[in-house]
Chain A
Amino acid sequence: AQSVAQPEDQVNVAEGNPLTVKCTYSVSGNPYLFWYVQYPNRGLQFLLKYITGDNLVKGSYGFEAEFNKSQTSFHLKKPSALVSDSALYFCAVRAGGATNKLIFGTGTLLAVQP
């Protein structure tokens, strides 16, 4: 069965430092992977996706993610964190088959300290 794991409930990082939010997945077939961000009392905003091609995917707001097939990981990264990056981040994988439904991880709260 398809699944997504975000092993860290919370990640703390100082402003200006690099950040990584971890995600591993389990899916049959080719993975279609997504990262979304959720600010308090808001919906999810799309950050980036991996479908095929380069393992390093660049997205919105300076974020990027590295797809690693052998480790079944899709970690979200940013070279220099901003306080405004503080939010809840979700990794998701398309379930596969005839449906487009997304399977979400449990989310990682990113806290960037000034």
Chain B
Amino acid sequence: NAGVMQNPRHLVRRRGQEARLRCSPMKGHSHVYWYRQLPEEGLKFMVYLQKENIIDESGMPKERFSAEFPKEGPSILRIQQVVRGDSAAYFCASSPQDFEGNIQYFGAGTRLSVL
């Protein structure tokens, strides 16, 4: 059973460009979470999605950031007009269902560098 797959592993963008980060959850998992890890910091929650629905986006910046988890295909975290402060590691996690004690399984992350 393949784990959570994220691509690309590394992404370099110039200021003002768009970044698209992809996440394929583990097989059978319908819940996806995105977290951001800034240098020397812990993980900060961004958004929680189920298929075709955003459940909690309380951690998403109000502008430039969006996320989706379509019926078919991977979840996408999109950052428009990137700035240097967006440079971070972005981790996706998935879990099988809506249960409080469910384990979230993490991908290897996408490291975004903004030049």
Q: What is A's interface to B at a CB cutoff of 8 Å?
A: 32, 34, 36, 41-46, 49, 51, 90, 94-95, 98-107
Contacts and interface: CB of A to CB of B under 8 A. Distances in A.
B25 interface: no
A44 B43 contact: yes
Contacts of A107: 42
Contacts of A49: 101, 103
Interface of B: 4, 6, 31, 33, 35, 41-45, 48, 55-56, 58-59, 91, 93, 95, 98, 100-109, 111
A36 B37 CA distance: 14
B43 A104 contact: yes
B42 A90 contact: yes
Given A32-B100, A51-B100, A105-B42, A100 B91 contact: no
Interface SS majority for chain A: loop
A32 B103 CA distance: 10
29 contacts: A32-B101, A34-B103, A36-B106, A41-B108, A42-B109, A43-B4, A43-B106, A44-B43, A44-B91, A44-B106, A45-B106, A46-B104, A46-B105, A49-B101, A51-B100, A51-B101, A94-B101, A98-B56, A100-B33, A100-B95, A100-B98, A100-B100, A100-B104, A101-B58, A102-B33, A102-B104, A104-B35, A104-B44, A105-B42
Contacts of A42: 108-109
**Nearest 10 A/B pairs, CB to CB:** A43-B106, A51-B101, A99-B56, A44-B106, A101-B45, A104-B42, A106-B42, A43-B108, A104-B43, A107-B42
Contacts of B43: 44, 90, 102, 104
Contacts of A101: 33, 45, 48, 56, 58-59
A9 to B, nearest CB: 10
B50 to A, nearest CB: 10
